[in-house]
Structure 1
């Protein structure tokens, strides 16, 4: 058994790249309200990365898991100089892939994001039916980052959102998936847990329209 366990761990270490360890930044959300837009708006949240990561996908909350009514641009901005670091556009319909309550568009190649302060923002065109979660009563995030505030803005195109602390703890429309930074070797404990797994082989539905 020990021999097989070591083989499984070695296989994971050799055969799986950083993206294989990808997971969502926001891992669970509870409470809050579902909101749509009364004008062309920006929804998002600020966060601090505690370590370097590789962003592998950007996504949008899909409350009914049935796809998006309209296109949404999503981007991550660096707070210090408001520079756009990485972005994509999630198309209407069932493009991309669903993971939990979020629908993601995978990046063609992973984007390296260093430790620091950022905000993730999505566009919300006026009056669309893609309801997003605001003012959550609770949430959990990956240990690599800390959510610091909600952000809000008015724009028809992707832009840095300067309205800070709006609908805290966050306007959880956008989300992202990430893996280990390029060249990072997973800790032995991580590999061991993955090897053991191999061997063992509601949010509130109140809708609001924001004016």
Structure 2
């Protein structure tokens, strides 16, 4: 197959939705496997992490243990290292949210870019009834995320002063998020060449 035909095929598949490098299925940043320890807390809790890839956050969510459905309303926020809020959402009590995946309930949010090598943290409030979990055997993280610290606020709100502890509660999972990995520059260049090849073929 000539290279122009191959590139045109890639473009056609992208247009038809059969191959979409820029629209990969969302990935869970953290996954609950059961076990470990669970508890309740009066302050907002979460975890700090380093992004190991450029990624686009698509959903924020919280852990839902016990019977399906949350006991309380939760506000979830994703912040940069400086403490600036990047995106947030709220999940009501019961079976709210847009997506249920394993033991997590997620809500779609505006697409939010995270940059490789940068540090961020995620928090959620209202853990006096719903439980969160922790423990290295209980929680795993995706290849694009490096857990760095347990995070908690000094009060009940996600906007209260935040503290980060490496030796606090490792492998924390209360809030979590879904994301898509940003396509590499090479993949974007390939799609651009494919589009050019397809246009040249149409002119012939």
- Common fold, TM-score beyond 0.5? yes
1:99 aligns with 2:101: yes
Question: Could you list the runs of 5+ residues in structure 2 that have no partner in the other structure?
Answer: 1-8, 191-204
Distance 1:155 1:113, change over 3 A: same
Report if aligned partners of 2:139, 2:171 keep a CA contact under 8 Å in 1. no
Contact 2:54–2:115 (8 Å) recurs in 1: yes
Whether 2:166 is the aligned partner of 1:165: answer: yes
Structure-1 separation of matches of 2:89 and 2:28: 16
Q: 2:34 matched to 1:33?
A: no
Instruction: Find the counterpart in structure 2 of residue 112 from structure 1.
Output: 113
Q: 1:30-80 CA deviation, whole Å, 9 max, x = no partner?
A: 53211112x3x111111110121110000000012511111111111111x
Check whether the contact 1:50–1:146 (CA below 8 A) recurs between aligned residues: yes
- The TM-score with structure 1 as length reference comes to 0.71
- The residue that corresponds to 1:201 in the other structure is none
Question: Does 2:77 correspond to 1:75?
Answer: yes
CA RMSD of aligned residues (A): 3.0
1:131 counterpart SS class: strand
Structure 1: runs of 5+ lacking an equivalent: 1-7, 189-211
Deviation at residue 151 of structure 1 after TM alignment? 1.3
Higher Rg: 2
1:145 Cα deviation from its structure 2 partner:
1.4
- TM score, norm. by length of structure 2: 0.74
